[in-house]
Structure 1
Amino acid sequence: MADKVVLECTVCKQRNYNTFKNKKNTTERLELKKYCKFCKDHTMHKETK
């Protein structure tokens, strides 16, 4: 059921995190506030393809 997705920082566009998402329950793209080691700050991370 769960598929692997990659999260990308919206500020510096680096792909920092891998996670899993159930695509049946969550059809829209994930947006999470996570720590970016390149920006050295908590920023919004969006799901990429």
Structure 2
Amino acid sequence: MRKKVILACIECHSRNYSTYTNRSSQSERLEVRKYCKRCGAHALHRETK
């Protein structure tokens, strides 16, 4: 089953993106480098709690 997760920038902590993950195959938190509008640069975005 897929679960909706929110991705937050680790530099400015703004919640910019949302996506779906497969909980049965992935146990760690999702980390993706994406563009942050608030920072104005590409930064690491991590799944929030």
Question: Within 2, Cα distance between the matches of 1:25 and 1:37?
Answer: 31
- In the alignment, residue 13 of structure 2 is paired with which amino acid? K
Percent of pairs identical after alignment?
51
Aligned residues: 49
Superposed CA RMSD in Å reads 0.4
- In the alignment, residue 42 of structure 1 is paired with which amino acid? H
Question: Within 1, Cα distance between the matches of 2:26 and 2:41?
Answer: 27
- In the alignment, residue 47 of structure 1 is paired with which amino acid? E
Q: 4+ residue runs of structure 1 moved beyond 3 angstroms? A: none
Per the alignment, residue 25 of structure 1 pairs with 25
In the alignment, structure 2 segments of 5+ residues that lack a partner are none
SS at match of 1:12: coil
Q: 1:35 Cα deviation (Å)?
A: 0.3
Per the alignment, residue 11 of structure 1 pairs with 11
- In the alignment, residue 34 of structure 2 is paired with which amino acid? K
